[in-house]
Structure 1
Amino acid sequence: MALYKLQDFDPNYHDTFQGDDIKGLGVYAEGRDEKIGTVSDVLVDDEGHFRYLVVDLGFWIFGKKVLLPIGRARIDYNVDRVYAIGMTRQQAEDLPEFNERSGVDYDYEERVRGVYRSPVDTTSAVDTSQPLDASASLDTGYQPNYNRDTYNYSHEPALYNINERDNQTLKLYEERLIANKKRQKAGEVAIGKRVETETARVEVPLERERVVIERVTPTDAGHRAAPGEANFREGEVARVEIYEETPDIRKEAVVREEVRVTKVVEQETSEAQATVRREELDVDTTGGLPIEER
């Protein structure tokens, strides 16, 4: 089971947990004012569950670092302390040193767990309400009924479950509106052509010929015609061709106008509302106990 430093697992863990940073808190023996060390880091598993606190037993960066299972830690942000349940300074010093370079493997964790497990009862985890045996060391001879292939942190809740007695968490939930958009067909615009008929009128100037017969008196009227000039014949006809223009109408197609069809996107803000629920905290105390909210 791989373990990761909290910063490596979640670089933005400050925003994720939205609470006080556990790093830098002093580690004290439970029930005593004996300082064991300082929390320098946190180790989490693949799912982000807290498994160990890395405790620096010395001053600044030169001290020995050991692992404290999260189930053996009680965090009190009121006094900025972490209490190691059932552990003394001497027992902490007996823990195998945590080497950041070599990391953590099953064999190393077993050495760590060997200090916290009860050397008497080999079937159950240690009672966190009782201090560890001060004589407990790495060479206890205790052989757990676990192996590297089947071991799971859930097998030892006393070591790896967050202490529910001293660290109870009540989650308050609220609903919020999530606004999304979906594209759907609002309608359809069909643009086509149809043929309409109408009567068009056009004026055409036309020419028409007509015969004008004009009778006039010649200037030599009354003079005698020369012999043989007068030829009286019947059937003599003068012919004149008469022409006129008539309209010659034909049709031709011309472009009247051009229609361009495009789409434009217009934006608008739509407001929606719904009823959401939110849980609020009700604190009911008996006996006049003081309550401090942070």
Structure 2
Amino acid sequence: MALHKIKDFDPDYRTHFDNNDVIGFDFYSGDEKIGSVDDVLVDDNGSFRYLVVNTGLWILGKKVLMPIAQGRINYADRRVYANSLTKTQVEQLPEYNPDHLVDYEHEEQVRGVYRPAATGVAAPEMSYDRTSYGYDRDPDLYGFDHDQSLRLYQERLIASKTRQKTGEVAIGKHIETDTARVSVPIEKERVVIERTPVTGGMPVAVGEADFHDGEVARVEVYEEVADIQKEAFVREEVRVKKVVDRDVVTAEDQIRREELDLDVDGSPVVERKL
């Protein structure tokens, strides 16, 4: 069965994987980064068969094939972890040339390196050939019946607070002018002249009458004058302070949640554990 680069097989393949394209993911062996994923090879049915790994950090410029079941893909971290891959295996693997087709002999060399690591036993004698081989013969290399993990994501609303300026109050004062009236009782002196005629007046003795021309009697006259002055006093005292009013703000929005879809083909026994 021929192998194809995934983009040659389906130019729009990314639309089928929700943009989770493993090409470009970092490639790790254990905790050590050894390279990156350069491409994906699929068979005539579109089934994933190999990841093309650029092992530049181990062997500069060498690209090799890793059977799809020999890796674990972590989409969140954009990484692919090899189940078991050593530098010695990379040295034994045939180099992948993207300009050449991968034939049966190339695949057998690849399988011969991975089979002992996947099964723990030496590679069995071949009981098949180019025409009789099927990928189902090597489930440890190509199957997906091993334990797999799938992350289900859900959105949630996160409430937080930020402080922002909503206004400003300036307290000042200005002068206004009014007309005020005040009453003060005052006293004024006035001269009252009373003339009383004398009837049958008694004569005075000779020499007592003293006639003088220009004799004047003086009387000082006083009056009170209002003395109006202004004085300032504290009419009112203004204190400025702030108080905090508390309220509860309620918001709502649409959140998404991923649910598990189970597509069963045939009549397998499926046990679901919560």
Taking structure 1 as the reference length, the TM-score comes to 0.48
1:173-198 deviation per Cα after TM superposition (whole angstroms, max 9, x unaligned): xxxxxxxxxxxxxxxxxxxxxxxxxx
In the TM superposition, residue 281 of structure 1 has moved relative to its aligned partner by 1.8
Structure 2 residue identity aligned to 1:99: N
1:10-33 deviation per Cα after TM superposition (whole angstroms, max 9, x unaligned): 10011122232100111111xx21
Q: Please list every run of 5 or more consecutive structure 1 residues that lacks an aligned counterpart in the other structure.
A: 120-125, 134-139, 171-278, 287-294
- 2:64–2:96 Cα contact (<8 Å) kept: yes
Structure 1 partner of 2:147: 165
Q: Measured at CA, do residues 167 and 154 of structure 1 come closer, stay the same or move farther in structure 2, by a change above 3 Å? A: farther
In the TM superposition, residue 156 of structure 1 has moved relative to its aligned partner by 0.9
> Does residue 50 in structure 1 map to residue 28 in structure 2?
no
**Cα distance in 1 between the residues matched to 2:69 and 2:123:** 23
CA RMSD across the alignment: 3.2
1:232-288 deviation per Cα after TM superposition (whole angstroms, max 9, x unaligned): xxxxxxxxxxxxxxxxxxxxxxxxxxxxxxxxxxxxxxxxxxxxxxx9727x998xx
Structure 2 residue identity aligned to 1:77: Y
- 2:39–2:53 Cα contact (<8 Å) kept: yes
In the TM superposition, residue 115 of structure 1 has moved relative to its aligned partner by 0.0
**Cα distance in 2 between the residues matched to 1:56 and 1:108:** 17
After superposition, residues 21-40 of structure 1 pair within 5 angstroms as 21-29=21-29, 32-40=30-38
Structure 1 residue identity aligned to 2:133: Y
After superposition, residues 116-135 of structure 1 pair within 5 angstroms as 116-118=114-116, 126-127=118-119
**Cα distance in 2 between the residues matched to 1:58 and 1:165:** 30
Over the matched positions of the two proteins, sequence identity in percent amounts to 47
> Does residue 281 in structure 1 map to residue 263 in structure 2?
no
**Cα distance in 2 between the residues matched to 1:112 and 1:27:** 18
**Cα distance in 2 between the residues matched to 1:280 and 1:78:** 15
Structure 2 residue identity aligned to 1:27: F
SS at 1:39 equivalent: strand
SS at 1:43 equivalent: strand
After superposition, residues 194-213 of structure 1 pair within 5 angstroms as none
In the TM superposition, residue 84 of structure 1 has moved relative to its aligned partner by 0.8
Structure 1 partner of 2:18: 18
Taking structure 2 as the reference length, the TM-score comes to 0.51
SS at 1:86 equivalent: coil
1:40-79 deviation per Cα after TM superposition (whole angstroms, max 9, x unaligned): 00000011100000001116xx611100000101001122
Q: Measured at CA, do residues 285 and 72 of structure 1 come closer, stay the same or move farther in structure 2, by a change above 3 Å? A: same
Structure 1 partner of 2:127: 145
In the TM superposition, residue 101 of structure 1 has moved relative to its aligned partner by 2.0
In the TM superposition, residue 34 of structure 1 has moved relative to its aligned partner by 1.7
Q: Measured at CA, do residues 141 and 109 of structure 1 come closer, stay the same or move farther in structure 2, by a change above 3 Å? A: same
**Cα distance in 2 between the residues matched to 1:3 and 1:14:** 18
**Cα distance in 2 between the residues matched to 1:55 and 1:99:** 11
**Cα distance in 2 between the residues matched to 1:169 and 1:158:** 23
**Cα distance in 2 between the residues matched to 1:280 and 1:141:** 42
**Cα distance in 1 between the residues matched to 2:273 and 2:145:** 22
SS at 2:106 equivalent: helix
In the TM superposition, residue 147 of structure 1 has moved relative to its aligned partner by 1.2
Structure 2 partner of 1:101: 99
Matching residue within 52, 63, 66 for 1:65: 63
SS at 1:63 equivalent: coil
**Cα distance in 1 between the residues matched to 2:98 and 2:74:** 27
